[in-house]
């Protein structure tokens, strides 16, 4: 199953809004076939593994991180292929939350006399497809909010300087994380201040979408997100549906511009923006700031995971990690820390918000 | 040696400004004697263990966390007792930094033909006597600064409420820590706001001194530190040497009042206050706030260890952990995180400042 999870990860970024899936076929301690869902619309992991195993699959065991599908989508149901191949037992990481499957795959396998065991490395399987799971359940992407802060909680010093609060090790971790999400997201303030490219370290493989929340459609054309070679992977979200000229010009260069509903103050309504992004097939977002966006996402309960990178530095006063709200301790936003992880001189604290 | 360290810890609080020391005597896998330095002026650990072992000590091995003393102080030199007892080999945690010893104990043992090995569990031995080491080296106490903060770095909400940012597990840890220092220290602001008793959980054993930095000698008599059963363990530090009446009245109830030099602004000069406290035999201080004192200690480089208890709560805005200064990232106070430790729902980050 560990191997199936690793294989699944190879599809990361190419399968959305489908889940990532890996499958392994074993008989008498021999690996007969392996496969992963390589991109949206392509063959499913199970089918790839089965065709690799061929006739040898008869009487073999199948490991797959997600329940095999039981319906006709872009491809025929995997359960039929599994039954036909003569697989004897299927080990499954987690049930597919997609209402079209949701246990029916398991039922069909059992009805065909195949042994089924569900829940093998289930936590890892859920973590692997946290975006997909959320997308199916709530029709909005999973949002991880990353913040690099000083020990006294500031994301920048009073001059606005934030490079580099965290260490090279922490930045390498962030680069790695970027490849594990469908999109990276920042507010327009961060773009104006830092002109980030939001790219992963290696640019010859998967490039996540880069989302800018730009209420007033103010983003200058010269910014990297609008002018670099990957601008087809840039999405600008705005409330300014009447700035047709600018939107058109951005779109002509390959950038996607999507209109979002305004909230009561005229700013982007974040819930509706996330739903719109889900419609584009984006199931998971890595949000990299700044304080305004972090504060808004937090108070609107739109953060699923917090990644807090804490540097061993104290500056006394600086730019708040979360701006725009103030609560008493009784009303504090609460969450649960996971096991802390040292990142070079820094410490990574992950918080799960639900 | 692990056993010797544990024995040493039993003397905690009673030996200052002496170090805590534990000793174990072993022969043929048999434990023949054990001892610890129980209180200032009492017999040293080695002598206690030797007298327990008696004649059997001949040819045995001695484990002791600190180099045995080589001079006449309150008691005769331990090295002489060790040589007379016929000990064959001595394992030592760390060399005694006291200039009266500082390697001379080892030299004398070697000169007598006894095998000596230094540096067994040395890190643990140093940690155990970090107060004593600092006191000998710099003539001021070791200062650990403890702060319980929200994830966004606040020690209280905007109403001033700080109870309870951290969890029962974290508070139990703090209670335990209090018994490991000669004194607990707070600023007068914390006393006025929280009226803390600063006692360890169990009050039938060692009670650390409780220090209040009270520049203007404003502390009300009704405060717990001035009125509870342990007020003989309260020390008030002040610059107001002319408030003789109030100082006298406090002293009449058993409280110690010590005058400190004022700094350029008329406030307590922290360096001189720490030196005065060292003169009272205080080798280690656990500082529990508030933000003003934390900021001053930090900028004056008087913090040796930072204990940062981070709660999984976000409030957006509140009372700063460190007040009174503002730096750019380039000028940030830097330190090194130790391995993070979960404390129930909270996380403890320890930082070493030198």
- Per the CB < 8 Å rule, is A345 touching B336? yes
Q: Is B73 a residue whose pLDDT tops 90?
A: no
Looking at residue A339, its pLDDT comes to 93
Q: What is the pLDDT of residues A257-291, one digit of tens each?
A: 999 999 998 899 999 999 999 999 999 999 998 89
Query: How is residue B29 annotated by DSSP?
Result: T
- Interatomic CA distance for residues B186 and B271, integer angstroms: 15
Q: Which residue has the tokens 């430790």?
A: B341
Contact B313 A334 (CB under 8 A): yes
Tell me the pLDDT tens digit for each residue of B290-301. 899 999 999 999
Per-residue pLDDT of chain A (354 residues; tens, 9 = 90+): 999 999 999 999 899 999 999 999 999 999 999 999 999 989 999 999 999 999 999 999 999 999 999 988 888 899 999 999 999 999 999 999 999 899 999 999 999 999 999 999 999 999 999 999 999 989 999 999 999 999 999 999 999 888 889 999 999 999 999 999 999 999 999 999 999 999 999 998 899 999 999 999 999 999 999 999 999 999 999 998 777 899 999 999 999 999 999 999 889 999 999 999 999 999 999 999 889 999 999 999 999 999 999 999 999 999 999 988 999 999 999 999 999 999 999 999 999 996
Given a contact cutoff of 8 angstroms between Cβ atoms, the answer to whether A36 and A50 are in contact is: no
Could B314 and A333 be called an inter-chain contact, meaning their C-beta atoms sit closer than 8 Å?
yes
Q: Which of B164, B328, B340 minimises the CB distance to A159?
A: B328
What pLDDT is recorded for position B241? 75
User: How near does any CA of chain A get to the CA of B303, in Å?
Assistant: 12
Q: Tell which of B153, B297, B319, B325 to mutate to test the A interface (max A CBs under 10 Å).
A: B153
Residue A73 has a pLDDT of: 84
Residues with Cβ within 8 Å of residue B214, at least 6 apart in sequence: B188, B191, B236, B237, B238
| A164 phi and psi angles, rounded to 5 deg | -115, 115
The residue-averaged pLDDT of B43-51 equals 94
Q: Which of A159, A324, A337 is closest, CB to CB, to B312?
A: A337
ipTM confidence: 0.85
pLDDT per residue as tens digits for the range B187-217: 999 999 999 999 999 998 899 999 999 999 9
Active site residue B67: no
Nearest CB to B322; choose among A312, A316, A322: A316
Best B337, B342, B351 member to test A by mutation, with max A CBs in 10 Å, is B337
Contact A316 B295 (CB under 8 A): yes
Residue A76 contacts by C-beta under 8 Å, 6 or more apart in sequence? none
pLDDT digits (tens, 9 = 90+) for B240-277: 877 789 999 999 999 999 999 999 988 999 999 999 99
Q: Check if B194 contacts A (Cβ < 8 Å).
A: no
Give the Cα separation of B344 and B339 in Å (integer): 16
């Amino acid at each position: 199953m560990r191997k199936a999870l690793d294989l699944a990860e190879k599809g990361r970024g190419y399968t959305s809004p489908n889940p990532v899936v890996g499958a392994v076929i074993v008989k008498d301690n021999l690996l007969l076939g392996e496969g992963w869902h390589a991109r949206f619309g392509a063959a499913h992991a199970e089918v790839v593994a089965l065709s690799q195993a061929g006739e040898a699959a008869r009487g073999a065991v199948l490991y797959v991180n997600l329940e095999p599908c039981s319906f006709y989508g872009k491809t025929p149901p995997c359960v039929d292929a599994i039954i036909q191949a003569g697989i004897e037992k299927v080990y499954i990481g987690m049930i597919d939350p997609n209402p079209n499957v949701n246990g029916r795959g398991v039922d069909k396998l059992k009805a065909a006399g195949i042994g089924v065991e569900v829940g093998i490395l289930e936590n890892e399987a859920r973590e692997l497809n946290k975006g997909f799971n959320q997308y199916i359940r709530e029709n909005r992407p999973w949002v991880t909010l990353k913040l690099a802060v000083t020990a006294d909680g500031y994301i920048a010093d009073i001059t606005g300087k934030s490079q580099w609060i965290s260490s090279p090790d922490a930045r390498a971790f962030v680069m790695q994380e970027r490849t594990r999400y469908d999109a990276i997201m920042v507010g327009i303030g961060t773009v104006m201040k830092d002109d980030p490219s939001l790219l992963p370290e290696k640019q010859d493989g998967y490039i996540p979408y880069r989302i800018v929340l730009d209420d007033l459609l103010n983003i200058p054309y010269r910014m990297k997100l609008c002018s670099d070679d990957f601008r087809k992977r840039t999405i600008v979200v705005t409330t300014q549906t009447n700035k047709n000229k600018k939107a058109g010009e951005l779109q002509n260069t390959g950038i996607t511009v999507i209109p979002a509903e305004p909230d009561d103050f005229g700013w982007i309504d974040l819930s509706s923006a996330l739903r719109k992004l889900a419609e584009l097939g984006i199931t998971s977002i890595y949000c990299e700031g700044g304080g305004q966006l972090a504060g808004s996402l937090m108070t609107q309960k739109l953060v699923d995971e917090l990644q807090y990178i804490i540097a061993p530095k104290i500056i006394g006063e600086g730019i708040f990690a979360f701006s725009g709200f103030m609560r008493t301790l009784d009303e504090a936003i609460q969450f649960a820390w996971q096991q802390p992880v040292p990142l070079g001189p820094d410490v990574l604290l992950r918080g799960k918000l639900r």
